[in-house]
Structure 1
Amino acid sequence: MTSTPTPPGLARFNAAEEPAARAALHEVCASTAWAGRLLAGRPYATAEDLYAANDAAMAGMTTADLEEAMAGHPPIGRPKPGDPASAREQRGMAGASDELKAEMLELNLAYQERFGHVFLICATGKTGEQMRDAVKERIGNAPEQEREIVRTELGKINRIRLARIVEEGDHA
């Protein structure tokens, strides 16, 4: 059985000095605890090992860790200026009508008032309408239920962003 070579981006991440690797992980997820867990697991033999570490770190996040992670995400429909990841992930809102954008702003504000944080969804590949429908559906959730949905969505976002590091080595 032959072993698969480590993808070049993953090899660069594994070899990066700790401050550079931490900075790369901060671009993926703003949780200090999450980044610490992934740093502690280096080196990763495969991308799947890195993704599994993400999943384990997500499962171990406290409410405070989740809040810290969510604080790094802009509201849907308002990507962070100068942040290509944010703009790329929210592409589904880019061509949305002014009415849909206004409705999303109103829904974002109502959601934030109810839960105390931004509406978080893995927006990659979703249309503006799908994101609007998701916030409408989720705004009625109990806070505990919503926190677990956010944990799942954040895990999906992290995997997509980690894949960019693995594939492109876009980090240091």
Structure 2
Amino acid sequence: MTNHPHASSDAANALQALAAAPAAELEKHLLEVCSSPAWAAAVAAARPWSDRHALLTANLTAMAGLSVTDLGDAMAGHARIGKPKPGDATSEREQAGIHGVDSALLDELHEANAAYEAKFGHVFLICATGRTAATMLDALRERFPNDAATEAEIVRGELRKINDIRLNRLLDETTS
């Protein structure tokens, strides 16, 4: 689980406000974190969360319970690596490692993505935060030989990391 250095009373207040939000509002916030309705429902069902760690634990538990279909719903909310969604600040921020990259490297990344998608039927998903385009391409190539079941479990772990980052950001933005 991703730990977070800020454990202020502001964050505790943000957590309490999130936990107390009406169901529709909470669902909206959670679906911005992860586009799987099953994940959002599981995290919401775990409220109230006593602290940030409890919210991140709810993410971990929810991710573990997702079916293959639910994982597909979660991946549908993510841009292809190397092609952040235009105008989507989250996508742009998470894929900052591709900015200013040589076009030949981007072409390799796009080709590798296409092969991965043809094999697995979904986008290559990796927690891109803090990664360069080259390290994402290396990870894609390393994971390409995996079978579908192995890859699904890796994707589950990557989604959990992404969700942890997004949940921490949600709490921090609420306190700013």
TM range, normalised to the smaller chain?
A: over 0.9
Q: Which has the higher contact order (CA 8 A, sep 6+)?
A: 1
Task: Give structure 1 regions of 4+ aligned residues with deviation exceeding 4 angstroms.
Answer: none
Q: Deviations over 1:50-91 (max 9, x none)?
A: 000000000011011001101111100111122111110000
TM-score, normalised to structure 1, is 0.93
Count of residue pairs the alignment pairs up: 167
5 Å-filtered alignment, 1:29-108, equals 29-108=34-113
Residue 91 of structure 2 aligns to a residue whose secondary structure is helix
Shift of 1:94: 1.3
Consecutive unaligned residues in structure 2, runs of 5 or more: 1-7
Match of 1:13 in 2: 18
CA distance in 2, matches of 1:164, 1:13: 13
Q: Deviations over 1:139-158 (max 9, x none)?
A: 11111111100000000000
Is the 1:7–1:167 Cα contact (8 Å) retained in structure 2? no
For 1:162, give the aligned amino acid.
L
Percent identity reads 48
How large is the Cα RMSD of the aligned pairs? 1.3
* Residue 121 of structure 2, aligned match among 112, 116, 119: 116
For 1:56, give the aligned amino acid.
T
TM-score, normalised to structure 2, is 0.91
